[in-house]
Amino acid sequence: MEKGILGLFTYVDTLLEAAQKLKGSGYSITIFSPIPLGHEIDHALGERKNYIKYLAFIGAAVGFILGIVLTLGTAALYVLPRGGRAIFPVTPTLLLSYETAILLGVFFTLTGFLVFAKLPSFKEKFYDPEVAIDSFGLLVDGVREDKFGDIEKVMREYGANEVKRIEKK
């Protein structure tokens, strides 16, 4: 049964310092927070890549093409002249492609988010409800249990007000 050690902090800056320290000494760390800390974490632990923008763009492009294929293709499949307009009109096609572009853009972005954030996942994981409320968690896992001692020491000295050894649940 794999175990992990979780330190709960009240303040973000202390947490980040501890995180830096532990990361520096080569532990794999995970930060839990009740609020997004994007800016701070980037600042402390370095920028992270953003693949979603590519996805969004691809999605929009695909959507646009889909729109064109849908409008023109269906018109071509069953030709019914109406209103003296062309069977392949430009403006409505663009308009619908615009809508579909946005729609698929949204869909791709959603997929991107779920994939990258590894959601949904109902597997058993390290988690502590406190981090959803007001304490910031710093999890170290994938290490032998004898290391837990000094990890806890580090956390304590950086001002973790509680350190737990937790199991996946």
Partner 1 sequence: MKKFILYIIIGAATFIMGYTINNMYSPDLSPVQPIPFSHKIHAGTNKIPCMYCHIYAENSRHAGVPNVKRCMGCHSIIRTDSPLIQTLTSYWEKKEPIPWVKVYNLPDHVYFPHKRHVKAGVPCQRCHGDVANMDRITRQAVSFGIPYARVSPLKMGWCLECHKNEAQKYIGTPVKNGTDCWTCHN
Partner 2 sequence: MAGFLERITERLNIYREPGWYKKFDHKWTMVIDLDKCNGCGACVLACYAENNIPVVGKEDCDKSRAFSWLRIERYVEGEYPDVKVKFIPVMCQHCGKAPCETGCPVYATYHNQDGLNVQVYNRCVGTFTCATYCPYDVRRFNWRTYKFEQPLDNQLNPDVTVREMGVMEKCTFCIQRIRVAKDKAKDEGREVQDGEIQPACVQSCPTGAMTFGDLQDPSSKVAKLAKSPRRYRLLEELNTDPSVIYLKRVMNDGAGTHEE
Partner 3 sequence: MGQEHMKSEISYREVNEDVVRTMTKTGPAYYIALISSMLVFAGFWLLPWSYQIYQGQGVTGLQTPAFWGIYLANFVFWIGISHSGTLLSAILFITQTPWRRSIYRSAEAMTFFSVLTAAIFVFVHMGRPWNFYWTMPYPNQRQLWLNFQSPLMFDVLAISAYMTSSVIFLYIGSIPDLAAVRDRVTGWRKEVYTVLALGWRGTDTEWHWLNKAYTFFAVFIIPLAVSVHSIVSWDFALSKVPGLNKTIFAPYFVVGAIYSGTAGIVTLMIILRKALNIEKYITLNHFSQLGKLLVVMSLLWSYINVLEVFTGWYANTSFENEALTYRMFTPPYSYMFWIMILCNSFMPLLLIFKKARTSIFVALIVSLAINVGMWLERYLIIATSLPRKFLPYMWHDYSPSWIEISTTIGSFGFFTMLFLLFVKLWPSVSIYEVKEDIGIPMKKGHH
Segment contacting partner 1 (CB under 8 A): 32-40, 72-80, 97-105, 123-131? 72-80
Q: Return the half-sphere exposure (C-beta side, CA atoms, 13 A cut-off) of residue 78.
A: 2
C-beta closer to partner 1: residue 26 or 81: 81
Establish if 159 lies at the interface with partner 3 (CB under 8 A). yes
Residue 70's closest CA among 88, 58, 56?
88
- CB 163 within 8 Å of CB 65: no
Minimal distance in Å, beta carbon 125 to partner 3?
Answer: 6
C-beta closer to partner 1: residue 74 or 121: 74
Question: Amino acid letter at 5?
Answer: I
Establish if 78 lies at the interface with partner 1 (CB under 8 A). yes
| Contact letters for partner 3, residues 87-126 (x by CB under 8 A) | --x--xx-xx-xxx-xx-xx--xx-xxx-xxxxxxxx-x-
Beta bridge mates, 164: 6
- CB 7 within 8 Å of CB 157: no
Minimal distance in Å, beta carbon 69 to partner 2?
Answer: 8
DSSP string, 42-55: HHHH------HHHH
Establish if 1 lies at the interface with partner 1 (CB under 8 A). no
Q: Other CB atoms closer than 10 Å to residue 160's CB: what's the count? A: 24
What are the structure tokens assigned to 152, written together? 């806890």
DSSP secondary structure letter of residue 10:
S
Give the residues lining the site for partner 3 (CB under 8 A): 10-14, 30-38, 40-41, 48, 50, 52-53, 56, 70-71, 74-75, 77-78, 80, 82-83, 85, 89, 92-93, 95-96, 98-100, 102-103, 105-106, 109-110, 112-114, 116-123, 125, 127, 129, 131-134, 159
